[in-house]
Amino acid sequence: MIVAFGLAACDPYPQTAPGPDGLAPPKVTRIRKGQESKVQFRMLDSLNSLRSASGAGPVQLESKLTAAAATHSRDMANQGRPWHFGSDGSSPIDRVARTGYPGTMLGEVISETYETELETLAAWMDQKDTRQILMDPQAINMGFSWYQQRNGKIWWTLLMGN
C-alpha cells in the first residue's frame, strides 16, 4: 500500500482541479521583454498562411495600425472590458485616423484572454465575423499589439487596413 501511494505521487500527468465554471483554469502565457517582435511576426506569418490557403493576398505589419492597436489594448485593460470603443468614446476608425494611417481601416478584432497569440488567432478564425475581417481580400496591412496585466491576462487587438 505504501508503494501504491508512492507511485501515485509520481503521476506524470497531474490533475488540475476545475474552476468554478467546470473548466480547467487558464494556463497563463507570459510575454517577456525581448519577445515582442517574435510574437508579432508569429501572428503575421500565421495569418498570412491562413490567408494564402483561402486565396487572399498577404498582409504586412504596419506601424501606425500597430500603434492604434497598442493604444486600444491598454485602454481595454484600463476599462476592464473587451469592446471596440475607447474610454474617450473613440471608435476603431477614430483611433486609426489619430495615428495618421493613410489607408482605410477595414476591421478590428479584439480578445481578452490568457492564451497565446496563436490560440487567440485560432479562436478568431472559429468565429464567422472575426474570420471575415482577418480574411478580407482588400487588406494589405495589419496592426497587431497587446497589453498584458500583472495577473497574466492579455488584451489583444488586431487591425486590418488597405
Chunked in runs of 10, what are the mean pLDDT values of the chain (162 residues)?
41 45 62 78 97 98 98 94 88 97 98 92 97 98 96 95 98
pLDDT of residue 40: 93
pLDDT of residue 19: 52
Query: Which amino acid is residue 34, in one-letter code?
Result: G
pLDDT of residue 18: 55
pLDDT of residue 159: 98
Nearest to 51 by CA among 121, 148, 150: 121
pLDDT of residue 7: 37
**Cell triple for 1:** 500500500
Who contacts 76 (Cβ-Cβ below 8 Å, separation ≥6)?
A: 82, 83, 110, 112, 147, 155, 157
**Cell triple for 64:** 501606425
φ, ψ dihedrals at 118, nearest 5°: -75, -35
pLDDT of residue 145: 96
Residue ranges of E strands in the chain: 60-61, 105-113, 141-148, 154-161
Concatenated DSSP letters of 24-48: PPPPPP---TT-HHHHHHHHHHHHH
pLDDT of residue 4: 42
Name the CATH superfamily for 35-161. Answer: CAP (3.40.33.10)
Q: Classify residue 150 as left (phi > 0), alpha (psi -120 to 50) or beta.
A: alpha
Query: Which amino acid is residue 21, in one-letter code?
Result: D
pLDDT of residue 139: 98
